[in-house]
Amino acid sequence: MATALVIGATGYAGRHLVAELHDRGHSVRALVRDRARAERAGPWGAPGLAGLVDEWAVGDVTHPRFTRDVAAGVEVVVSALGVTRQKADPWAVDNLANLAVLHSARTHGARSFTYLNVFGGDRCPAQLTRAKTAFAQTLAASDITAQIINPTGYFSDLMELVTMARRGIVPLFRPGVRINPIHGADLATFTVDRMKHDGTGTWDVGGPQILRWDELARTAFEAVGRRPRTVRIPPAALPPVQRLTSLISPRLADLVLFATWGMTHDGVAPRTGLRRLADFYAENASR
């Protein structure tokens, strides 16, 4: 079985990828910043990596000396690397650091590079998605077998609705907008299947249930045992809020733009997996 390098291995998606690759008999090299944290279970039921990893590459992926030879001796690379809640410049991580690892993979003769991008990212105006789209374009044009997976929202990100439901109110911008969010384990199965059976390509993917945002909110309220209470915010109110936020924190404003773009545009991709959001909420709402 091929040796796989997983970058972003401590994230929600990365942890499920490591577990899936290990379960299928791959030898796994995990790139992490903190091994002790990596070995403990992650948030929202994401597995701890103790016993799943054969080699650790511990360091910061924005340091060129660390990434230069990180792919030496591996056959396949999969990237779940990205800036979500981290205080970092998305261009430095989502674009430049992925490029550095791609360079290492090509230099050392890796067979393929699989990248978790984001569904609809090429249409979203946030800096975050621009950085990701630019990397995906470079990867697609490179001479390595390039596999680009575009998932919809992860169940982990939708825990934010549970937090809001617990506080008593959920804001909705366009309640009828639909999404089919995906569990990390279903995404990992889909991704490793592509790595195993397919060559170069791009795949959009989401979970098994298509839900409207008002249904998502209702599911979150049910999980915390509260009566649903939502407030409609006109999407026209968003640009002024973003402009104001950018005066205080451009990074936060970009995160708000990314998140609210997802709440105001349909995000329905071809379906995979069996795991349902209500079960995920039930398992995790009390943690």
Ligand X SMILES: NC(=O)c1ccc[n+]([C@@H]2O[C@H](COP(=O)([O-])OP(=O)(O)OC[C@H]3O[C@@H](n4cnc5c(N)ncnc54)[C@H](OP(=O)(O)O)[C@@H]3O)[C@@H](O)[C@H]2O)c1
DSSP 19-88: HHHHHTT-EEEEEES-HHHHHS--GGGPPP-TTT-SEEEES-TT-HHHHTTTTTT-SEEEE----SSSSS
Binding window for ligand X (CB under 6 A); candidates: 2-10, 18-26, 198-206, 273-281: 2-10
Query: Is 115 strand, coil or helix?
Result: strand
Q: Exactly one of 72, 88, 238, 278 binds ligand X (CB under 6 A); which one?
A: 88
Residues near ligand X (CB under 6 A), total: 26
| Sheet of 27-32, strands arranged across | 55-58, 27-32, 3-7, 76-79, 112-116, 145-151, 201-205
Site string for ligand X, 189-208 (x = CB under 6 A): --------------------
Q: Are 8 and 79 in contact (CB under 8 A)?
A: yes
Of residues 44-83, which lie at the interface with ligand X (CB under 6 A)? 60-62, 80-83
**Do the beta carbons of residue 141 and residue 148 sit within 8 Å?**
no
Residues 154 to 193: which contact ligand X by CB under 6 A?
154, 156-157
For the CB of residue 270, give the shortest distance to ligand X in the complex, in Å.
15
Closest to ligand X by CB, 98 vs 112, is 98
Tell me the closest approach of the beta carbon of residue 237 to ligand X, in angstroms.
23
- Which residue in 151, 207, 267, 273 binds ligand X (CB under 6 A)? 151
Q: What is the smallest separation between the CB atom of 206 and ligand X, expressed in angstroms?
A: 10
Q: Which tokens hold the place of 2?
A: 């091929």
Shortest Cβ contact with ligand X: which residue?
Answer: 11
Taking the complex as a whole, how short is the minimal distance between the CB of residue 225 and ligand X, in angstroms? 25
Residues from 9 through 38 that contact ligand X (CB under 6 A)? 9-14, 33
47, 120, 153, 206: which one binds ligand X (CB under 6 A)? 153
* Closest distance of CB 168 from ligand X, Å: 24
Q: Which stretch binds ligand X (CB under 6 A): 104-112, 146-154, 162-170, 269-277?
A: 146-154
C-beta separation of 172 from 179 below 8 A: no
Q: Give whichever of 172 and 269 is closer to ligand X, judged by the CB atom.
A: 269
Minimum CB–partner distance for residue 271 and ligand X (Å): 15
Name the minimum Å distance from CB 247 to ligand X.
25
* Residue 127 is a binding residue for ligand X (CB under 6 A): no
If DSSP states are collapsed to H, E and C, what string results for 181-245?
A: CECHHHHHHHHHHHHHHCCCEEEEEECCCCEEHHHHHHHHHHHHCCCCCEEECCHHHHHHHHHHH
- Between strands 178-179 and 230-232, the pairing is unpaired
Question: What is the DSSP secondary structure assignment for residue 114, as one 8-state letter?
Answer: E
CA distance 257 to 49: 33
Q: Could you tell me the two tokens for 149?
A: 């997976």
d(CA 135, CA 140): 9
- Footprint of ligand X (CB under 6 A): 8-14, 33, 60-62, 80-84, 86, 88, 93, 116, 118, 151, 153-154, 156-157
